A and B are shown apart, each in its own frame.
Chain A
Amino acid sequence: AQSVAQPEDQVNVAEGNPLTVKCTYSVSGNPYLFWYVQYPNRGLQFLLKYITGDNLVKGSYGFEAEFNKSQTSFHLKKPSALVSDSALYFCAVRDTNSGYSTLTFGKGTMLLVSP
């Protein structure tokens, strides 16, 4: 079975500082990993994905994520946070062994960026 853990309910960072939102995963095969962002009263918006290749993937709005196979992690990062980045962030995984396209989500991490 596939699973995702986001250990932090909330991350607080000052505008202009770097941010990291943590994610670890568990799969039986190789993972496809995704980050989504959810703004209030909106659906989930795709940010970036890791499928294969370079461990550092770049996505929308200046976000990037680093895949670390040995630590089974896929942390979301941004060099300089903006107040407008404040939102709920979800990490999701799909197991390449499962044969299906189901996404399993973490519980989400609220990112609060203060001015």
Chain B
Amino acid sequence: EPEVTQTPSHQVTQMGQEVILRCVPISNHLYFYWYRQILGQKVEFLVSFYNNEISEKSEIFDDQFSVERPDGSNFTLKIRSTKLEDSAMYFCASSGTEYSNQPQHFGDGTRLSIL
């Protein structure tokens, strides 16, 4: 069964440094998402992406964050200047169609640790 893959599985970064989290969505999917889960807390929506542009973003997704689909397969989340509070699990997800009744398929996540 096709899967969403994320790399790296664990990223350790110094505060203030830039970090890029990578995702390869399921190949025929059109909608892409980033979520985060701070340890012990619920999964929070960050951003959705369709047709090479952001379709929705949450309050968490401020100017420090950006997303990109640099080629036909990768979908990246960049945090420009990391803060301690950015430490979390970051999940990428994709869905096949524009219809909001379709489930999103999640990767296994990248654990981001900011020191």
Interface SS of chain B: strand
A107 to chain B: closest residue by CB: B42
B106 touching A105, Cβ below 8 Å: no
Cα distance, A99 to B31, chains bound together (Å): 14
The smallest C-beta distance from A8 to any residue of chain B, in angstroms, reads: 14
Cα distance, A107 to B41, chains bound together (Å): 6
B48 touching A41, Cβ below 8 Å: no
Contact of A44 among B6, B43, B44, B95 (CB under 8 A): B43
Contact of B56 among A32, A34, A102, A105 (CB under 8 A): A102
A46 touching B42, Cβ below 8 Å: no
Which residues from chain A contact B107 at a C-beta distance below 8 Å?
A: 43
A43 touching B108, Cβ below 8 Å: yes
B14 at the interface (CB under 8 A from A): no
Cα distance, A51 to B30, chains bound together (Å): 20
A101 touching B100, Cβ below 8 Å: yes
Which residues from chain A contact B41 at a C-beta distance below 8 Å?
A: 107
28 residue pairs from A and B, CB less than 8 Å apart: A42-B108, A43-B6, A43-B106, A43-B108, A44-B43, A44-B91, A46-B104, A49-B101, A49-B103, A51-B101, A90-B42, A90-B43, A94-B100, A94-B101, A101-B55, A101-B95, A101-B98, A101-B104, A102-B48, A102-B56, A102-B58, A103-B33, A103-B104, A105-B35, A105-B42, A105-B43, A106-B42, A108-B43
Give me the interface of A with B, judged by CB distance under 8 Å: 32, 34, 36, 41-46, 49, 51, 90, 94, 96, 100-108
